Structure 1
Amino acid sequence: MRPRIPQSPPSPETQAKMQERAERLSKRQYVRFAFYKVDPSWRRLPEPEQAEHKQELLDVVRSFNRRMLLRPYSLMGTRADAEILLWQIAKSPVPFRELASAVMRTRMGAYLTMAYSYFSQTKRSLYEIRTPDGNEDDEERLIIDPTEAKYLFVYPFIKTREWYQLSQYARQGMMDEHIAIGRKYPAVRLNTTYSFGLDDYEFILAFETDEPSDFLDLVQELRESTVSMYTLQDTPLFTCINMRLDEALDALGGPAIAQEVTPGVSEDVWMEVCPLDELGPGESKTIFLEGKMVGVFNVEGTLYALNNRCSHARGPLSEGVVDPVECSVTCPWHYGKFDLRTGQAIDGVVNKPVDTYAVEVRNGVIYVGTTVTY
């Protein structure tokens, strides 16, 4: 037997990098899929009352937009037991409870039933998942950044206990086949979240795409993969249509409250951030604006705002290092650097810019704005 050669401990620099990576991989998002159904008696109310109910509910939900990422979807015409989905993503589960309570306190809340509710977290995958260029994909999966895809397909998922008795090597091999099939459908984007111990299921899967037939073909092909033999449950499945909340509410019935928009028309949208004295030089904050997380930075008294997700792997730029001389921020994940004034990628692994946003101070309060084109 060969003598065991002692392994040298990692250098202090390597240990620091390992610790830094472990810390950023431990940060997770909380995710909730809340499906609502309206009682048929609501549709028999006088139309003016219906309009008031919808407008009140719309205002209440919109009031949470700066605290979490909120995406509304309609299920009218695709399911009989659910009619609206509010896809919610936040740093803490607290806003979920507060939103649910606020919705039920509205007049329309008396006619709403929570048809389904799924609660989960993002988490690093147990399996080695690489992007087509060979890079690790773990960190990207910690952050959910929804696209503008027209359709969202959501379902809970449970594997058999036999799956967990297999070796990691055996499971990785089957997952490699599973992942390879998914790569054949690049127009379908998967968001995997984990519910172990949090809810009745193990995973909640949410697929975004503009073409339902792509998702149908993907699911059918996945049925033929080896790993599908270890599926215990993957229903119910929800087909959700992406639309503004006022449009989703109008789809329920009653008089329309959604304002008609002409395609190509633009509108400025502003969101309050915080009082100016709560964001000192060298500090940053994040808010949600039009479905995107925005990082707001105070650099020696000048305010800047840009999409908080690095264009490389969605790293949180608000947690990065700001260089006031260069007026740049470096992503804490893979050290891509962006110009805070323009959003341009200026160094590191990044080659795509991030969006920037207008910043104004009104009566001592910071606001961030963007232009929305319909």
Structure 2
Amino acid sequence: MDMLQIIDEGGTLVSPDLLPGDETLLALYRAMRRIRHFDERAVVLHRQGRMGVYPPYGGMEASQAGTTFALTHDDWLLPTYRDTGAALTYGLPIAQVVLYWRTSPHGWAMPEGLKVLPFYIPIATQYPHAVGCALAERMQGRSNVAMAFIGDGGSSEGDFHEALNFAGALSAPCVFILQNNGWAISVPTSAQTKAVNLSKRADGYGIPGVRVDGNDIVAVYHATREAVERARRGEGPTLIETVTYRVKPHTVSDDPGRYRTEDLTKEWLTKDPVVRLRAFLTSRGTWSDEHEAALVQEITDEFEAAVLEADSYGEPTPSEIVDHVFATPTPALSEQRALLLEEYGA
């Protein structure tokens, strides 16, 4: 099979032997619907001047929720700037995410006990970091894994290849997620590589590569869970390519109409991951309009409460820009902080 799929675009079951139980299906749907609500409201907050530049992930919810859902809170999550949905699914509080994308220092430090690293803006740097996190866990006698994300554009970076080679050679317990969403900002995947199946890049490093329908959350979860379990057993890393599409702009300041027609976007909208799973659940009698209304109300209330919490924080002071760089400040940072305090005050 070239690409793993369990539920097709029309919501029809095509691989019944791989279907999880209803409890898991409902939890996957809730996770997807919840992060879609955040993504939609985040764009509104930006338009209201209440959030900074934000990279939407609309249309990629299955790729982000389905992968992260396979982790435990003892594992590591290393997201890119477009993986807010993955971090929310993992447990990062909504209020902190809002503060982060407001560029407030109050949102920079990750919560104690939650093994998630800040959103990466440099392309592909999180892949080698994931290998380090995974090897550190193994050296301490634990069976935890590290999951890192990258886009199709990032797979052309040196860090991507170095990390796969490093992880493969040392059998690091890593799960590498390659979200092939069709675009590296304004560059289509076809313009940056002749490779069609990016998961085959794993072959060069002697590790498994899996290609999955990135808009089928059930297939994404199935493939990721197998990779996580494999890593946990000490059998090394896996590269998972989730084939999806960036239906939203690169960021809220981007105009995709300048570099692509919307015909392909409209085609991908018919493969909407949220609509797909809802159609399947409805056909099984496990979801209804009443269930949907109750869920929307729940996640709306959660989001609004989180925004109020984010609004309760005061304006950051200039010196706070250096407070979350190292646990123990270096001499240079201490000097910089003192200079900021001297010039701007506390």
**Per the shorter chain, which TM-score range?**
under 0.3
Compare the two structures and name the one with the higher helix fraction.
Answer: 2
Greater relative contact order (Cα 8 A, min sep 6): structure 1 or 2? Answer: 2
Q: Indicate the structure with greater strand content.
A: 1
TM-score, normalised via structure 2 length: 0.26
TM norm structure 1: 0.24
Q: Which of the pair has more CA radius of gyration?
A: 1
